[in-house]
Amino acid sequence: MWVYGLSLFNKPAQQAMKDKEVYRISIILDIRWESSAFWDSVSPAGPAWMEAVIQKCLDAKVKEVSWEHFYIPERKTSSDK
């Protein structure tokens, strides 16, 4: 697997599930990093991993930006069937 860019969301996952909707901005960068090596390089930052990702990508050229709005359907459990 490879890292080609970033996906940014307008709210945390738990809030998105509660609200049943979320926006995503996809930023495709002029990069191609092997996925596990990329995450290994930012994991030493601990809780500041998101800032480490941003720092790592700062010098990359932006190739494409797009956005999507998603409605999240309710999940059905086996007891709902």
> What average pLDDT does range 20-36 have in this prediction?
96
pLDDT of residue 80: 58
Cβ neighbours for 47, distance < 8 A, ≥ 6 positions apart:
none
pLDDT of residue 81: 57
**CA terminus-to-terminus distance, the chain:** 36
Task: Say whether pLDDT at 10 is over 70.
Answer: yes
pTM of the model: 0.76
Give the rounded distance of the alpha carbon of 2 from its chain centre.
Answer: 14
Encoded tokens for 52: 């480490």
> What average pLDDT does range 3-21 have in this prediction?
94
Structural domain spans, the chain: 2-73
CA–CA distance, 50 with 47 (Å, rounded to integer): 8
- Greater confidence, 75 or 55? 55
